[in-house]
Amino acid sequence: MSTSEQKLADVTGQFTQVVRDGRKLSDTDWSNGRIILSNKRIVIATNSGKQTIQLPQIQSIRGRYDVNQTVAKVSDYISINAGSDVYLVSMGNVEEFELQLQKAILDGEIVLIKHPAVKGGVVQESSWEKARVKINEGVANFAVESGSLVQIEVDDVGTVESDERHIRGQERPVIEAEHTKEGSSVQTYLSGGAQNCAILKSVLDRGAEKNASQIDLSGKEEEVLMAIYSGVSPFEVPEFLDIDTDEVEEIYERLVELDVLEEVRVRREVALKPRGRNIASEAMSSK
């Protein structure tokens, strides 16, 4: 390694390539080897040779990519998309390696941020500002040039969308992440280079995938979620919706069990969790 290259991780694990030059390799198998991560590249050394993945080539870091039963037998691995190639790596602590890889690509990078871009469903007058990225375990941090710090907890992310917007005189890729700030649903917009946006989306997608809103709810349950999403106090929901207090309490109980609401106080103050915000937002859009 050169003097400018720093080793960040050196572990033993398993490796395979599942896409080469855009073609899926359905007969691939795992190889044991040594996986080295630096601030410039990933080097994988196996009995059959050495494979190098330059960090600037990486377009996304995601979860499972089961191309066959042999690959599927390994319970914990990440997939690394590098152009027209996709690699899988597995080791004892995959989450720690994934975090180190995210940090190697994103830490210190400058992006544009608009926060909050939307609050409680209402578009805000926030402007685009420069921010420096730092990834910690479970949190994406953005030190904004104006002096503020924006933190997005990955487990708090409800949805992540990709878009193109006209920003500062040119079309740029934008990541739109829904999360909470001081109990309110907000959307933060992030923009930057193609790789930075892609990897940031990979980071935030982890929370969004966990909090997907695939739950069947009754009309009244959706009304309760929409009321809280719009800013109605949980204590005022019965009067606001003209529903009996005991019935609302039963709805709260069910939604807490479904991991849609979280109980804030024993006297039944509740706050929307990411899955609940997703359901409320989708229900409001369909009305």
Q: Which residue has the higher pLDDT, 62 or 80?
A: 80
* Same-domain check for residues 101 and 113: no
* Same-domain check for residues 118 and 199: yes
How many residues in the chain? Answer: 287
Confirm whether 233 is domain-assigned: yes
* Same-domain check for residues 44 and 89: yes
What pLDDT is recorded for position 117? Answer: 96
For residue range 246-285, list pLDDT tens digits in order. Answer: 999 999 988 888 888 888 765 567 788 888 888 888 888 8
Q: Using CA atoms, how far apart are residues 124 and 242, in angstroms rounded to an integer?
A: 31
Domain of residue 239, CATH code: 1.10.10.10
Q: Using CA atoms, how far apart are residues 237 and 42, in angstroms rounded to an integer?
A: 53
What pLDDT is recorded for position 214? Answer: 64
234 Cβ contact partners less than 8 Å away, ≥ 6 residues apart:
228, 252, 268, 269, 270, 271
What pLDDT is recorded for position 64? Answer: 76
Identify the domain boundary among 210, 237, 253.
Answer: 210
For residue range 175-211, list pLDDT tens digits in order. Answer: 999 999 888 889 999 999 999 999 999 999 988 877 7
Strand-strand pairing, 261-265 and 110-119: unpaired
Identify the domain boundary among 210, 237, 263.
Answer: 210
* Same-domain check for residues 86 and 170: no
Confidence of residue 213 (pLDDT cuts 50, 70, 90): low
Looking at the chain, the whole-number percentage of residues with pLDDT higher than 90 is: 57
* Same-domain check for residues 75 and 25: yes
Confirm whether 2 is domain-assigned: no
For residue range 121-171, list pLDDT tens digits in order. Answer: 899 999 999 999 999 999 999 999 999 999 999 999 989 999 999 999 999
What pLDDT is recorded for position 183? Answer: 80
Q: Using CA atoms, how far apart are residues 61 and 50, in angstroms rounded to an integer?
A: 21
Identify the domain boundary among 210, 242, 266.
Answer: 210
Mean pLDDT (the chain) is: 89
* Same-domain check for residues 97 and 120: no
Confirm whether 193 is domain-assigned: yes
Confirm whether 261 is domain-assigned: yes
Confirm whether 1 is domain-assigned: no
Q: What is the mean pLDDT of residues 20-40?
A: 91
Domain of residue 26, CATH code: 2.30.29.30
Count of the separate structural domains present in the chain: 3
User: What distances in angstroms separate CA 218 from CA 135, 213, 215, 251, 255, one per listed residue?
Assistant: 39, 14, 10, 10, 11
Q: Using CA atoms, how far apart are residues 30 and 134, in angstroms rounded to an integer?
A: 33
The yes-or-no verdict on residue 68 having pLDDT over 80 is no
What pLDDT is recorded for position 2? Answer: 65
Domain of residue 246: give its range: 219-286
User: What distances in angstroms separate CA 219 from CA 124, 223, 226, 280, one per listed residue?
Assistant: 30, 6, 10, 11
Q: Which residue has the tokens 């609050």?
A: 119
* Same-domain check for residues 172 and 133: yes
Q: What is the mean pLDDT of residues 23-42?
A: 91
Q: Using CA atoms, how far apart are residues 30 and 12, in angstroms rounded to an integer?
A: 13
* Same-domain check for residues 170 and 114: yes
Retrieve residue 197's tokens.
Answer: 């946006």
Give the DSSP per-residue string, 29-75: --EEEEEEEESSEEEEEETTEEEEEEGGGEEEEES----SHHHHT--
Q: Which 3 state secondary structure label does DSSP give 159?
A: strand
* Same-domain check for residues 98 and 188: no
Strand-strand pairing, 41-46 and 23-24: unpaired
* Same-domain check for residues 53 and 145: no
* Same-domain check for residues 177 and 93: no
Retrieve residue 147's tokens.
Answer: 């002096």
